[in-house]
Amino acid sequence: MPAAAGVTRGGIDAMISNEPSYKERRNKRWIAISLLPAVALFIVLTAFPVVNLLALSFFHVEWREATSAFSFVGLDNYHRLFSTEKVFWDGVRNTAFFAVTAVSCQMVLGFSMALAVRTAGSYGRAVLTGIFLLPIVVPPIVIGTMWRLIMGREFGLANMLLGLLGLGPVDWLGNPDIALASVIFVDIWHWTPFVFLLMLAGLESLDGEVIEAARMDTRSRWQQIRHVVLPMMMPTIVVTLMFRVILSFKVFDEVYLLTSGGPGTATEVVNFSIYRTFFRQDQVGYGSAMSIVTLFAISVVIILARGFAQRRAARRSAVS
Amino acid sequence: MQSFIATFSRRSMLRACAAAFIVAAGVGTALAQSQPPVTMAINQSPWLNSFVAMVEEYENETGNKIELDVTPFGGLLEKIRNSVRGGQGAYDIVNVNSLWLSEIYSGGFLAPLGDVQAGYGLPEGVLTYGDTTNWDAEAGTFTGGGALMGVPVNGNVQVLYYNTDIYAKLGLHPPKTWDELLANAQAIQKEGEAYGFVPRAARDSIVYNFTPYLFSHDAAFFRITDSGKADVVVNSPEALKALQTYVKLATESGPPGPGNIAQGELIQLLATGKGAQAIAVIAAWGQLEDPNASRVVGKIDAALLPAGPAGTVASSAGHWVAGIPRNVPPEKQKAALAFLDWFAAKERQVDYVRAGGVPVRGDITGADLGDDAAFRFIGAYSQNAQHAVMGLPFAQASEASDAMALSLNRAVISEMTPAQALNQAAADLAGVLERNGFAVTKLPDL
């Protein structure tokens, strides 16, 4: 059979053998070349520092005669971390508690605030949005200073107000039983606007007709939120939750400025332990081991959260 | 005017110009800088302005230039590390806190001053704060016979502050012993007007604050017995007595929540008259005498720290030493030393005190300052400086301090008994020493 006009014998063979055409191959090459800068940046800015950190965690570093001396210690730093270290693990416990408590409160408050703004009039919406967003634009150093002044036992504003009511004074930052709760409170105040912002964006993007239909079909506002708004908002909620969990594991500035991890280890968090070990004590190898363990733990949390979100999405699409 | 111009010939003008040139050249020579400019890394502490005043005085007097790179305390060590560990240092002088001295000395980052200028020694009268200006590289510790590594620039030792109004009202006297201090504190606390005693017991400063108690009880954190050998003695019976005294003062006569009181809170309590007695750094004096920041101007005095059971007195060194890095050119090193030597002279130190600084000499008296009441701290400062000790004289001082701080802090907030705290501190300190190559012996647990 003669070949069709414009179609070469080689082209027919290529189609028959399912081999990519020249155009497809060229496209793939172009895609690979286009990705190269991003891959190079990833290697230089992310992969290399992490690999370097991992390598450092197997060494003990000392300075003698103004020269660094690296001694290979194998898994000693990890062994020490898992066998004799106490402060870091107190920090892990506090950080986990901090993340769960602070993020839960922020999610509930942020979502409620977004609902309030969504249903407010245009003037109220502008005013409420401005007020709600204020904490997130304040620099962390100012937040630390401000709340340290407010929560001071002797001269703090909080105790002055309590005094007017005949209560207190409360040692917000010096009492080991409530110091962590005080830091969590400040974190909630600081980061709830972030949740609010994402939730508001999510609510604004919902289909208005569905919401209107739900209003007619449900008996109460709570039913409307529970059975319509919340399921529709789930992708936004999951993404926001992941953002906040990751960020809450990175808490440092509030603890550093308010309590420096004390009293005792009441407000010790992972990042503060790493900072103290790596920078103040100059234990580079041991600090690297702490960092790698933390990095690994956060990665596991993210992978689990993503897996959960993907399974949930798959289940929902199967049902619908 | 016209007649003046008419008589001012070209020759006259040339003569005038020549004369002006000669005069200008003469003045210029007098103020020309004889040394290259020097850059110094320094901390942003309350005494900074007094140091800046001395730099200005030096520049006006010599024409040499000193550029100060001012950094908050928390970031200075990293800046210093980055500079001295590089091939070419950014700083010709680094201002090193007493807690970091052993790390910087043992790392070999500083040029011994005897190498910068052959035979250089500290001017007579300059304090060494427990020989912390000298480092024995072989022994790995401070010794008077070691190489001279720097010149002190601020003598920040701890002193006993007390409120003279409250003392007068209750008929109290500056305490000579810890028991007397406790008795004073209880009497003040009972009166109810102010806290009897304010400790500085937050985790990041408790080891420094506790050091005078420990050493005045003839105890120590550890003792180097031989090269590479150390006895951990922080859990001795004497140390237990010292910690019991510390905890008693902090919990029975101090503000609630002592475990979170850092230097800022302590000064605030003294400055507002809410705290009647405290052991704190002499650098706080300026704030306590500042009418814009204090309600007790003229009502605070300083004294020698109380003695232990055997009459031993100790203060903890918290001073600053200026060192000259190895990795800067020799001419810069010489210029740096010229400034530091100028700064340590007695007449400059008197100026330094007048500008609000804490001197680094022990031979300045009230008479040198015209017996001005504003400088009434000078006697107590000199006495305490003579008894200054370096609690952790080895390279891993920061690590050891952090390790023990937690246990001491837990004793103050009643999470541990003093005996448990010291046993734990001893175990932690032994771990730090062993990890860093010491053969360690320990006392049995209390």
| Interchain contact, B108 vs A67, CB within 8 Å | yes
Strands B158-163 and B93-97, bridge-based pairing: unpaired
Asked if B257's CB is within 8 angstroms of A173's CB, the reply is yes
Give chain A positions within 8 Å (CB) of B258.
Answer: 174
Distance CA A87, CA A283 (A): 15
Comparing CA positions, the residue from B377, B384, B379 lying closest to residue B363 is B379
| pTM strictly above 0.90 | no
A282 in contact with B, Cβ within 8 Å: yes
Interface residue of A87, A154, A277 to substitute, partner B, most B CBs within 10 Å: A154
Specify whether the CB–CB gap between B201 and B410 falls below 8 A.
Answer: no
For residues B33 and B112, what is the distance between their CA atoms, to the nearest angstrom?
A: 25
Strands annotated E in B44-166: 66-71, 93-97, 134-136, 141-142, 147-148, 150-154, 158-163
Q: Would you place residue A291 in the very low, low, confident or very high pLDDT band (cuts 50, 70, 90)?
A: very high
Q: In what order do the strands lie in the sheet containing B222-226?
A: B222-226, B229-232, B439-442
Q: What is the pLDDT of residues B275-325, one digit of tens each?
A: 999 999 998 998 899 999 999 999 999 999 999 999 999 999 889 999 999
Given CB atoms, is B354 within the 8 Å cutoff of chain A?
no
Q: Is B296's Cβ below 8 Å from some Cβ in A?
A: no
Q: For residue A281, give the chain B residue with the closest CA.
A: B399
Whether A154 sits inside 8 A of B202 (CB atoms) is no
Answer for the pair A204, A229: CB distance below 8 angstroms, yes or no. no
State residue B159 phi and psi, 5-degree precision.
-135, 170
- Beta-carbon neighbour count of residue A18 at 10 Å? 6
- Closest-approach residue (CA) in chain B for A64: B107
Q: Do B265 and A154 touch (CB under 8 A)?
A: yes
Q: Which residues of A touch B78 (CB under 8 A)?
A: 279
pLDDT band with cut points at 50, 70 and 90 for residue A59: very high
- Give yes or no for residue A311 having a pLDDT over 90: no
| pLDDT tens-digit map of B336-391 | 999 999 999 999 999 999 998 999 998 988 888 888 888 999 999 999 999 999 99
Model confidence at A306: pLDDT above 60? yes
How many residues in chain B? 446
Confidence of residue A125 (pLDDT cuts 50, 70, 90): confident
> What's residue B133's pLDDT?
96
Enumerate the H helices of B198-236 as residue ranges.
206-216
Element holding B333 (H helix, E strand)? helix B330-344
Q: Could you tell me where the DSSP H helices lie in chain A?
A: 9-16, 22-42, 48-56, 76-83, 87-119, 122-137, 140-151, 157-164, 179-204, 208-217, 221-224, 230-249, 253-258, 270-275, 284-319
Question: Is there a contact between A265 and A94 (Cβ–Cβ < 8 Å)?
Answer: yes
Q: Are the C-beta atoms of B340 and B51 separated by less than 8 Å? A: no
Q: What is the pLDDT of residue B275?
A: 97
Chain A positions in Cβ-Cβ contact with residue B406 (cut-off 8 Å): 87, 264-265
- Which residues make Cβ contacts (< 8 Å) with residue B194, sequence separation at least 6? B163, B166, B188, B273, B274, B275, B276
- Nearest CA-CA distance, residue A53 and chain B, Å: 18
Structure tokens at B232: 């951990």
Q: Do A264 and B406 touch (CB under 8 A)?
A: yes
Indicate whether A192 pLDDT > 50.
yes
Q: Do A174 and B84 touch (CB under 8 A)?
A: no
Phi, psi for B439 (deg, rounded to 5):
-85, 120
Cβ–Cβ gap B259/A264 under 8 Å: yes
Residues of B in contact with A65 (CB under 8 A): 108
Which of B445, B411, B430 is CA-nearest to residue B206? B411
- Contact residues on chain A for B85, CB-CB shorter than 8 A: 63, 66, 68
Q: Which residues contact B37 (CB under 8 A, 6 or more apart)?
A: B64, B65, B66, B67, B335
Query: What does each C-alpha distance from A256 to A140, A253, A267, A269, A285 come to in angstroms?
Result: 11, 5, 10, 10, 23
- Phi-psi map region of B100: left, alpha, beta (phi>0 left; psi -120 to 50 alpha): alpha
Q: Token pair for residue A159?
A: 């105790």
Nearest to A174 among B85, B257, B269 (CB): B257
In this predicted structure, the answer to whether residue B189 has a pLDDT above a threshold of 70 is yes
Higher pLDDT, B14 or B44: B44
Q: Which of B220, B195, B168, B213 is nearest to B411 (CA)?
A: B213
Q: Is B14 exposed, middle or buried (0-12, 13-18, 19+ CB in 10 A)?
A: exposed
Nearest to A262 among B109, B259, B399 (CB): B259
ipTM of the complex: 0.81
- Identify all chain A residues contacting B399, using CB atoms and an 8 Å cutoff: 281-283
Going by DSSP bridges, is the β-strand pair B229-232/B439-442 parallel, antiparallel, or unpaired? parallel
What pLDDT sits at residue B29?
42
Contact A66 B84 (CB under 8 A): yes
Q: Is A71 on the interface with B (CB under 8 A)?
A: no
Q: How many Cβ pairs within 8 Å bridge chains A and B?
A: 92
The answer to whether the CB of B146 falls within 8 A of the CB of B136 is yes
Is A281 within 8 Å of B398 when comparing Cβ atoms? yes
Q: Given the structure tokens 């000499």, which residue do they identify?
A: B361
DSSP A19: P
What's the whole-number average pLDDT of chain B? 91
Which residues in chain B have their CB less than 8 angstroms from residue A261's CB?
203
* C-alpha Rg value of chain A to the nearest Å: 27
pLDDT of residue B27: 45
- SS3 of residue A30 by DSSP: helix
A203 CB-side CA count, 13 A = 20
Cis upstream peptide for B256 (omega within 30°)? no
Q: Identify from A281, A283, A290 which residue to disrupt to test chain B contact, counting B C-beta atoms within 10 A and taking the largest count.
A: A281
- Give the range among A13-27, A37-51, A228-242, B275-289 with minimum mean pLDDT: A13-27
The CA radius of gyration of chain B, in Å to the nearest whole number, is: 25
Q: A145-157 in b/e burial notation, b at 16+ Cβ within 10 A?
A: eebbebbbbbebe
> Is there a contact between B240 and B446 (Cβ–Cβ < 8 Å)?
yes
**Could you give the domains of chain A?**
9-56 (no CATH), 76-319 (1.10.3720.10)
Q: What residues have CB less than 8 Å from B299, skipping those under 6 apart?
A: B163, B164, B165, B273
Exposed (0-12), middle (13-18) or buried (19+): which is B343, by Cβ within 10 Å? buried
